[in-house]
Chains A and B, each alone.
Chain A
Amino acid sequence: MKVFYKILLLLIIVGSAVAQPMSITSLTELYSGKDGFIVLNLNDAGIVLRDLVKNKSAQEAIKTVKKVTLIRFSTEELKDERKAEAMKEGKNFFNQVKNFRASDYEEILSFSQGSNRLRSYYKKNERGDNEFIMTVTAEEYNSLIMYLSGSFTKEEILEIAKSIKF
């Protein structure tokens, strides 16, 4: 009987580990180089971000962002013959992003309108850095997940978003 409980406990542990939403690192590894996926993985996000913001306060906020990881799926720039194949992986990614929950993070902004959904999370990690995660899902399996880390505050992230040149 003890053996049965041990096996049951083991199954519960393994099952719960599998049921956990995939980490951004594992998503990066899974979709890097696949058709329709754009993966951005930078340890110095400032190189790119500093050219995108308009005002001085946002320029200062940019300096607080260190690492950026972004995975986006879209078939809009794919050749027609590659779309169907890419869509299979795209659907998987879409579902993973849609179901992604950063449980130990504070949900700072969530928005839903039609098929468009956005969720954003923020937390201070054990190393003292702040982390920001954003997930977006939209029509035709368009989806993205973005992770930022650095010394920024929630307000600074929103300030950067507001100041990006379009």
Chain B
Amino acid sequence: MNIDELIEKYYNGETTPAEEALLRKHFAEANEKSPEKDMFEFFSSESNAFGEIEFDESELLSKISNTKISRFPSFWKYASIAAILILAINAYIFISKFASNDNKQQYTSGIVITDENIAINKEKAALELQKAFSHLNNSQKIVNENLMNLKKLNEANNYLEILITN
């Protein structure tokens, strides 16, 4: 098989690795310029370039093993921790509020405040006394106002009597 037939076979993609090696050798040794020569020289130079790259396999492996694999970028990691904390705090506030409401419900149902438990019930006791004294204060105010009005009415009546008698 001559070189032209091999080239045609190469372009048809039918050449074997041995035939391609033969073509590379032919064009490497050929003196005259041709597109095929340029092509094979280019392939050959590129192939040599890759062949020149040397690396230390063990060094590469150690680099790979020492590299920390992070599932999340650090920002998202911290953001997710913050979100969990906020949720936990909110949940705690909600539950404690709910529990305190429930306690308050039981607290006002039949509560007895004495000297023994005043320390924990002082606020409630204060509220009860406040309410009781507010009744007294309001009543006293209204009674005083009524008395004032009555006094004014008496004074007006007396004045009217004086006017009539004169």
A107 to chain B, nearest CB (A): 13
How long is the Cα–Cα vector from A36 to B107 in the complex, in angstroms?
10
- Contact string against B for A residues 34-77, beta-carbon threshold 8 Å, 1 for contact and 0 otherwise: 11111111111101110110000000000000001010100001
Measured in the bound complex, the distance between the Cα atoms of B118 and A47 in whole Å is 9
CA–CA, A40 to B133, complex, Å?
A: 14
User: What residues on A are CB-neighbors of B122 within 8 Å?
Assistant: 47-48
Interface centre among B111, B132, B140 (most CB of A within 10 A): B132
**Count, chain B residues at interface, CB 8 A:** 29
Does B125 make an interface contact (CB < 8 A)?
A: yes
Report how far A79 CA is from B107 CA in the complex, Å.
12
Query: Closest Cβ of chain B: how far from A70's Cβ, in Å?
Result: 6
Chain B interface main SS type: helix
Asked if A38 and B108 make an inter-chain contact with CB atoms under 8 angstroms apart, the answer reads: yes
* CB-based contact A78/B128 at 8 Å: no
Task: Provide the bound-state CA to CA distance between A115 and B104, in Å.
Answer: 28
CB distance from A15 to the nearest CB of B (A): 32
Contact of B62 with A by CB under 8 A? no
**B-contacting 9-mer, from A4-12, A16-24, A158-166:** A158-166
Q: A134 contacts B105, CB within 8 Å?
A: no
Across the interface, which residues of B come within 8 angstroms of A37, CB to CB? 110-111
Our pick among B109, B126, B128, B136 for the contact of A134 (Cβ within 8 Å) is B136
Question: Which of B107-145 touch A at CB < 8 Å?
Answer: 108-115, 118, 122, 124-126, 128-137, 139-140, 142-143
Known A113-B142, A158-B140: A42·B125 in contact at CB below 8 Å? yes
A82 at the interface (CB under 8 A from B): yes
B115 touches A78 (CB 8 A): no
What is the CA–CA distance of A35 and B130 in the complex, to the nearest angstrom?
21
Interface status of A102 (Cβ within 8 A of chain B): no
A118: contacting residue among B109, B111, B135, CB under 8 A? B135
Chain B's nearest CB lies how many Å from the CB of A6?
43
Residues of chain A contacted by B111 (CB below 8 angstroms): 33, 37-39
Flag A131-166 by CB within 8 Å of B: 1 or 0 each: 000101000000010100000000001101110111
